[in-house]
Amino acid sequence: METLSGRIDKKTYRSLVLFSFALFVQATAALSIIGVLGAVASEWHISSTASALLVTAFGATFAVSAPILQMLVGHWARRTQILTGISIMAFGAVAFALAPDYPVLFAARILMGLGAALLSPVMFALGTSLVKPHQQGGALAIVSMGISIATVIGVPSSAWLAGHVGPRMLFAIIALLLIATGTLIALFIPDRSKGERVSPRQALRLLGRPATLSGLAVVFFVTSGIFATYTMITPIMKDVYGAGAHVVSMALLLFGMSGLVGNLFVRRAASARSAETLLKGSMLTLILIFAALLVLPVSTAVLLAALVAWPFVSDIFWPSQQRRMVELEPGFRGIALALSSSFMFSGMAFGSALGGASYAAFGFASVLGISILLISIGLGALVYSARAKVKAKAAAARPMPAKGRPAVESGKLAGVAAIC
């Protein structure tokens, strides 16, 4: 069987794997806090509500700063942007480990969010620039696999480490991993290609393009729909399905492993199917999965089947969405991917808040209904975006009328010239 590394030269493949490792460390630094909130609250003597705000600090900072940073420093060499982002994240992790009080903890998470906001979109942009256009889907899947591995290995390992050596030492280890990653990139990624200089006016112009704006709406609504249920998955398993701690742990491990398989699948599928086809298929399947949980009898078997299919499909959606944004804005892939990441993190925050409030007030069925509704809106946004893309392409191919001459008159003159 032909491997992806056989289609992409070895040097580029190694670069993509290194980017994937960098995203693994970044995602672990970002998501590990979720599994160690109790340890953090105990170490710094703060409430669970205050510790939970550390999650919001990272996500909100990322969502707001990703596009702004691309406007401010997006013209820097992409390698420089990546190394700067890693350095800021490492500094934030060190500040977290040494923090004497809660305000410093909060500021450290903001610093880590700033670093991730600069690092993540540029990593994807550089990854796609190293390969041929028909290889971009597979390249994005390789890079994004680091995030999938973080959910399977990084987050559980962080929880285990925090329980044994404490949260301070955990974030010191994360800082060392970030420094090691930056060193590897500095040594083995010689690329000096420039990013795109994007002004606020150009960014607004991108948002003014119907195909691009509705394409960004896709990731916002689908991410919102997924996280409306995912955020509450642990209490749902305990309250609705009567799962104990062991079953919950095994189910979450199964969830992560299935996501890895989905990532491997999309590498192959990307070379044979368009991003729009993969997006439509994944969104329709997600709707069916949540609908099945809503209408089928409460059963652990049904839940486990859903927890296998759901991450598999989700890991087809994420790289396909990034690939489509690159295809929509090939000349502005840096800001396009930054905006996509920003909309994604905004969707996470919105969906999590909505799902948490709905579950507390109306129960499990309401959360599933919200997920189905939001993903359906995302599917509608994709259909609209695809049509807008076709219209924009047709308009660009239409011949422009002669300057100072009405379009009708120009058409008549062209017709006469053709007849002559």
Mean pLDDT for 35-64 is 83
Highest-confidence segment of 16-25, 58-67, 192-201, 280-289 = 280-289
**Phi then psi dihedrals of residue 77, to 5 deg:** -55, 135
User: pLDDT class for 415, splitting at 50, 70, 90?
Assistant: very low
**Domain identity same for 18 and 94:** yes
Q: What is the pLDDT of residue 251?
A: 80
Q: Are 351 and 343 in contact (CB under 8 A)?
A: no
C-alpha Rg value of the chain to the nearest Å: 23
How far apart CA 407 and CA 228 sit, in angstroms, is 51
Answer whether residue 129 shows pLDDT above 60: yes
Percent of the chain beyond pLDDT 90? Answer: 42
Tokens of 230: 């995912």
**Domain identity same for 189 and 208:** no
**Domain identity same for 117 and 252:** no
Q: What is the pLDDT of residue 403?
A: 53
Answer whether residue 163 shows pLDDT above 50: yes
Mean pLDDT for 222-249 is 84
Q: What is the pLDDT of residue 150?
A: 84
* 129 CB-contact burial (10 Å; exposed 0-12 / middle 13-18 / buried 19+): middle
Q: What is the largest CA-CA distance in the chain?
A: 88
How far apart CA 346 and CA 338 sit, in angstroms, is 12
Is 415 within the bounds of a domain? no
416 vs 397, higher pLDDT: 397
Answer whether residue 418 shows pLDDT above 90: no
Q: Which residues form the domain of 45?
A: 8-197
Closest of 148, 135, 213, 382 to residue 281, by C-alpha? 382
Answer whether residue 404 shows pLDDT above 60: no
Closest of 282, 285, 239 to residue 263, by C-alpha? 282
Beta bridge partners of 77: 194
How far apart CA 334 and CA 401 sit, in angstroms, is 34
Is 120 within the bounds of a domain? yes
Average pLDDT taken over every residue of the chain:
86
Q: What is the pLDDT of residue 144?
A: 86
Which helix or strand (DSSP H or E) is residue 379 part of?
Answer: helix 364-397
Q: What is the pLDDT of residue 156?
A: 77
Is 74 within the bounds of a domain? yes
Residue with tokens 């007849």: 419
Per the structure, the count of domains in the chain is 2
Mean pLDDT for 106-123 is 92
Which amino acid is it at 327? E
